[in-house]
Structure 1
């Protein structure tokens, strides 16, 4: 069973928000460190992938509607 790009995009966005939240909490507790930079990097990748997957979903949906 395949997941839709919309579902995957939402999951990626949620993970990006979660990583950002954890990074903010880490900065408040112990300041900027390697772990914080790693979390921000992962959040950036996840949010970017989420937007890309959602865009792919709408491109596929638009292509399917244009075929009909």
Structure 2
């Protein structure tokens, strides 16, 4: 569960970087940061899902 929180924090950080350092919406830098943030959020949701799924099996 702790790693999921770290991934969510990294996702928020990459969104901040995409907004702060991107000159426009379609700038390559902001798109890369947005893609990495999306992957971080996806991994975080998957970890939380697996945590609750394994907790319910016990």
Partner of 1:24: 19
How many residues are aligned here?
57
- Consecutive unaligned residues of structure 2, counting only runs of 5 or more, are none
Q: Decide which structure has the larger Cα Rg and report it.
A: 1
Matched, 1:13 2:8: yes
SS at match of 1:44: helix
User: Where does the alignment leave 5 or more consecutive residues of structure 1 unmatched?
Assistant: 1-5
**RMSD of Structure 2 on Structure 1 (CA):** 1.0
Give the TM-score normalised by structure 2.
Answer: 0.88
Report the Cα offset of residue 34 of structure 1: 1.2
In structure 2, what is the equivalent of residue 39 of structure 1? 33
Question: Segments of 4+ in structure 1 off by > 4 A?
Answer: none
CA-CA distance at 1:18 after TM superposition:
0.4
